Amino acid sequence: MIKIDLSKKIKLIRQWWLFVMMCGVLGALIGAGLNFWMVKTTYMSTMQMNIYHPRDEFKSSNAFQKQKQQDIKNIRDYGIMIHSPGLLKKVKKESLYNGQKVNLINLSQSLTYSIKPNTTKINVSAVSTSIPVAQTSVKALAKQLMYTLKMADSSLQISVRYGRHYSSPTIKHGKLSTIAYSTFTGLTMGICYVILMELDVFSIRFKRGH
């Protein structure tokens, strides 16, 4: 049966706890420094598009209701179109025309959409570390999507309402968990150092070297 000398363990903790804690604090400071240089606040611009067929006076009430339900179903397809390569290329070209250069990968990642249930409305947002880029991306997308849909169906009624841009501190380039990882790494290194010191690993290697 293995016996544990608690007095020695307590003595060991008292002797080294401050050193281990200092390693943890140092790790946290390094993590905070990395966050300061890596983390960038992003900005989000939003818009809402309402895409539907207006009521035709020659259509019956039942026909209009069927058309309305079809318009609601079509909204999902319009959302998928936002990330289609063809439309993204047009948005990129439109953004460049307005003085903002973006690449397709970043553009695709920056654009998101959500659909209001049982409506013909779709909310679109663009995220960027630059306010002008976020605003331009949203406006370029609205213009090109409207043009594409109108070319396919000229009877569509499309209205756009732009929202104000705002900073989004929860979306960042870099991770706040860097501090936690650095602190954990510092504590682990400190504990490993203590264990090696207690096992006299360094002195053994020194003696072997001589």
- pLDDT tens track for 126-135: 988 888 888 8
Q: For 139-174, what is each residue's pLDDT tens digit?
A: 999 999 999 999 999 999 999 998 866 655 444 444
Per CATH, which fold does 41-172 belong to? Alpha-Beta Plaits (3.30.70)
Cα gap 177→170, rounded to integer Å: 12
Q: Binning pLDDT at 50, 70 and 90, where does residue 47 land?
A: very high
Q: For 178-193, what is each residue's pLDDT tens digit?
A: 666 667 777 777 777 7
Calculate the CA 123 to chain-centre distance.
Answer: 17
Q: Binning pLDDT at 50, 70 and 90, where does residue 98 land?
A: confident
The whole-number pLDDT of residue 72 equals 93
Does pTM top 0.85 for this prediction? no
Cα gap 48→205, rounded to integer Å: 69
* pLDDT(11) > 80: no
Q: How many CB atoms lie within 10 A of CB 107?
A: 21
Cα gap 147→151, rounded to integer Å: 6
